[in-house]
Each structure stands twice: as C-alpha cells, then as structure tokens.
C-alpha cells in the first residue's frame, strides 16, 4: 500500500509524523522535560497554528472552492468560542454536549446568514457578511449581557475539564489539536473531492453555467457556507478552550483579516495552502513581534498588501506554477503591474 503513495502524500505523511514527534525532538534538543519550559512554549505555538489552520481552511472552502468572498468569517469563529464558553461556564454543560451545541448553533447561524446574504452576490456579499459580523461584535461588547458574555472584558477563565487543561496537560492538548486539524483536513478533502465539491468549484468558475446545467446553486452555496461555518465554529471553540477565554476580539474584523491573510499567503483554492499560511503567519507574527515590538501589525499590513500585489497565488499556487522559471514569473507579474492599461 505504501508503494502506491505519490510524492505529495509522502510529504503529507512525513509532515504529520514530524509534528507527532515534534515535542519530543524539541525536548531532546533543549534537554528540557517535554511538559515544561521551551518545549511547552513551542507546543503552545503549534497548538495556535493548528487551530488557525482549521479556521483558514474553512475560509478557503468558501473563498477558494466556491468563489464566495465573505468578510464576516469571524462571526462563526467567535460564536463558536462564545458558545462553548457560555455553556461550560454558565450552564455547566459537559464538554461533549457543548461541542454538539456548537455545531448545531453554527448550522443554524450559517443557514440564517447564508439565506439572507446570498440574496446578493460578489462584493455585496462581502459587505453584508461584514455587517453581520460587526453586529455580533457589537452585541458581544454590549454591557447588557455582561453576566453572560462579560461585555468588553470577554468571558474569563472558562472551566476546561482538567484532563485537557492547556496549562497542566499541554502535551495532551497538543495531540488533541493536531488530531483535530488532521481530522478536519480529511473531512474537508472528502467534501471537496465529492460530487458536491465539484459543483462548488463549478459555481466558482462560472455560476451561470452551473445553473444552466441544472444545479440549484443556492443550495450548494448554502452547503459550502454551512460546512465552512461548522469548521470555523469548531476551531473557535477549541481556541476558547486553549486560551481559557473568549473576548470580543475573536468576533472583530481583525480575525477575518487574519483568515484572509493566511489563505492568501498559503494559496487560494487548496486545502493545504491555508494551513501552511497559518503556520507562516503565526511564526512570522511571533518573530516580527520580537523584532519590532508594538509596531509589528503595521509591518504585517504592509507585507499583506505587498503579497496581494506581487504574490497573488500564495505559496502553494506559486509552487504549482514552478514549471515556469522564477525569473519568468516575476517578469510577467512585473509587466502586469507596470503596464499602464
């Protein structure tokens, strides 16, 4: 069976293998125990990457596979975080039923938002979803629900079950997050490669054609939004568990921009691209923060604009184009930019 694997699959398997033994490798290199000090810090770093990777991948199902540009993706991420936080902290639910509730709420929410927003298309859709996300952001900040949401301070100290506490059981949480990312990737790949996924791509390429072929495009777009909404909500819920809190920032535009950034840097229209993008952004953000201190977001924004201008295919897209030489690609891009049409 192993003999039949192709090169990308080998790369994927070895990446997963590398990530599985990563905590122990770091522990060996630094000579520190695996559940404290530097290894613990890097596990935390990667946990954040895994969570954001799922979030970015869910975004790409919308943007890269169905061709829907949403600027309200933080809505699902944030609602997932708040749902699990409120259920664990105030309602005293157990973890399993809380996750089920997260999924159910994500489905309802994405159906409502989808049905309303899909009445318009293109940039209108982006605008309308942004407005919805902002509405939830404002509601999360509203002082009226302070006893439930904690208003602008957010939900603090969510009671996470001891067996996956991110502070004491960091290694277990690491494998949990890794498993979560892999599982979500497999699910997403299954969906994208299914007939439903093909229709989504047909909609992306030419919606009218898909319609003429007899597909009810609205249904398929709703499916895409729901799938992506569930994934984002699960990622948000895990994020809340990891940070032990949920604050209004998870619902803000910055969160959506983050997903966009990871998707664009990694490569639109692939599943692995956004996941790689999440890793790049997280590590780059960390280094920029160390190097430039508080002014790093500014630099980050500039890097983002430069990438949109000069590297629109992202890491994976550029890799796929590797047949053409690097110089040729740059020359082409340069011409495209500088020729005054």
Partner 1 sequence: MIEWIKYRRGLIIGIGAIILFAYWATTTYEPRVLASILLSGLTLGALYFLVTSGLSLIFGLMDVLNFAHGTLFMIGAYVGFTLYANPRLLLNTVPFVIAVVAGWLLAGWLPVKRIRTPGWLFWIGAVIVAMMAVWGFELAPLATTALSSGGRIPTEQAQAPTAIFVIRTLGLAVAGLIAGIAFLVGKEHAQQPLSAKLLVPLGMLTLALIIAPIRLSAEGWLLSLNSNTRFLLALLVGASSGAALGGLMEWSLIRPLYSRPIYQVLVTLGLVFVGTELVKAIWGPGGYFMELPEWFSRRGPGCPSPNLIAWLQDNCASIDVLGRPFPSYRVFIIALGLVMFIGTAILLQRTRLGMIIRAGVQDSEMVQALGINVRRVFTLVFALGAGLAALGGVAAAPFLGISPGLGQEFQLQAFIAVVIGGMGSFTGAALGALLVGLSRAFGDQIVLTGIQLPWMSEAMSFSPSIARASTVLIMALVLLLRPAGLFGKKE
Helices (H), strands (E): how many in the chain? 15, 0
Please say which residue, 87 or 251, places its beta carbon nearer to partner 1: 251
Least separation in angstroms between CB 220 and partner 1: 19
Residue 246 backbone dihedrals phi, psi, to 5 degrees:
-140, 120
Residue 199 vs residues 204, 219, 238: alpha-carbon distances, Å: 9, 11, 30
Q: Which of 38, 186, 213, 337 binds partner 1 (CB under 8 A)?
A: 337
Closest to partner 1 by CB, 121 vs 165, is: 121
Q: Select from 119, 117, 292, 268 the least CA-distant residue to 201.
A: 268
Residue 148 binds to partner 1 (criterion: CB under 8 A): no
Told to check if 141 binds partner 1 by CB under 8 A, we report: yes
- Binder to partner 1 among 55, 65, 71, 313 (CB under 8 A)? 71
The sign of the torsion formed by the CA atoms of 163, 78, 85, 153 equals positive
Beta bridge pairs of residue 155? 246
Q: Which stretch binds partner 1 (CB under 8 A): 4-12, 111-119, 187-195, 234-242?
A: 111-119
Quote the CA–CA distance of 251 and 83 in Å, as a whole number.
Answer: 12
Query: How many Å apart are CA 10 and CA 155, to the nearest integer?
Result: 42
Using CB under 8 A as the binding rule, whether residue 312 contacts partner 1 is answered as yes
Answer for the pair 61, 263: CB distance below 8 angstroms, yes or no: no
Should residue 130 be labelled a site residue for partner 1 when binding is judged by CB under 8 A?
yes
Q: Under the criterion CB under 8 A, does residue 305 sit at the interface with partner 1?
A: yes
Q: Residue 121 interacts with partner 1 (CB under 8 A)?
A: yes
Instruction: Tell me which stretch binds partner 1 (CB under 8 A): 5-13, 160-168, 170-178, 302-310.
Output: 302-310
Q: Which of 10, 24, 124, 286 binds partner 1 (CB under 8 A)?
A: 124
Other CB atoms within a 10 A radius of the CB of residue 92 amount to 9
117 makes contact with partner 1 (CB under 8 A): yes
Asked if residue 28 binds partner 1 (CB under 8 A), the reply is no
Of the candidates 100, 104, 116, 183, which one interacts with partner 1 according to CB under 8 A? 116
How far apart (Å, rounded) are the C-alpha atoms in residues 168 and 38?
A: 15
First to last CA, the chain: 53
Beta bridge partners of 246: 155
- Residues in contact with partner 1 by the rule CB under 8 A: 69, 71, 116-117, 119-121, 123-124, 126-128, 130-132, 134-136, 138-139, 141-144, 253-254, 257, 260, 264, 295, 297-298, 300-302, 304-305, 308-309, 312, 336-338, 340-341
């Amino acid at each position: 069976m192993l003999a039949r694997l192709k090169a990308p699959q080998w790369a994927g398997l070895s990446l997963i293998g590398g990530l599985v033994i990563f905590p122990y490798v770091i522990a060996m290199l630094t000579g520190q125990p695996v559940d404290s000090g530097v290894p613990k810090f890097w596990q935390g770093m990667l946990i954040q990457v895994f969570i954001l990777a799922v979030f970015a991948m869910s975004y790409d199902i919308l943007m890269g596979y169905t061709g829907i540009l949403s600027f309200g993706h933080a809505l699902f991420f944030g609602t997932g975080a708040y749902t699990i936080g409120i259920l664990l902290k105030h309602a005293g639910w157990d973890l399993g039923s809380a996750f089920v509730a997260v999924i159910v709420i994500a489905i309802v929410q994405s159906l409502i938002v989808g049905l309303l927003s899909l009445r318009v298309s293109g940039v209108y859709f982006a605008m309308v979803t942004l407005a919805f996300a902002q509405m939830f952001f404002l509601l999360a900040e509203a002082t009226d629900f302070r006893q439930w949401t904690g208003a602008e301070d957010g939900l603090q100290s969510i009671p996470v079950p001891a067996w996956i506490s991110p502070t004491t059981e960091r290694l277990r949480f690491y494998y949990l997050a890794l498993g979560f990312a892999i599982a979500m990737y497999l699910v997403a790949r299954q969906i994208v490669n299914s007939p439903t996924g093909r229709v989504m791509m047909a909609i992306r390429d030419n919606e009218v054609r898909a319609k003429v072929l007899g597909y009810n495009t609205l249904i398929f777009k709703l499916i895409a939004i729901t799938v992506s909404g569930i994934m984002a909500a699960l990622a948000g819920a895990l994020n809340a568990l990891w940070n032990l809190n949920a604050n209004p920032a998870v619902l803000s535009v910055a969160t959506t921009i983050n997903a966009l950034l990871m998707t664009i840097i990694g490569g639109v229209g692939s599943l692995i691209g956004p996941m790689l993008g999440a890793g790049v952004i997280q590590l780059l953000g960390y280094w920029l923060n160390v190097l430039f201190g508080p002014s790093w977001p500014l630099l980050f924004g500039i890097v983002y604009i430069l990438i949109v201008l000069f590297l629109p295919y992202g890491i994976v897209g550029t890799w796929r184009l590797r047949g053409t030489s690097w110089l040729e690609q740059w020359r082409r891009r340069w011409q495209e930019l500088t020729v005054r049409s």
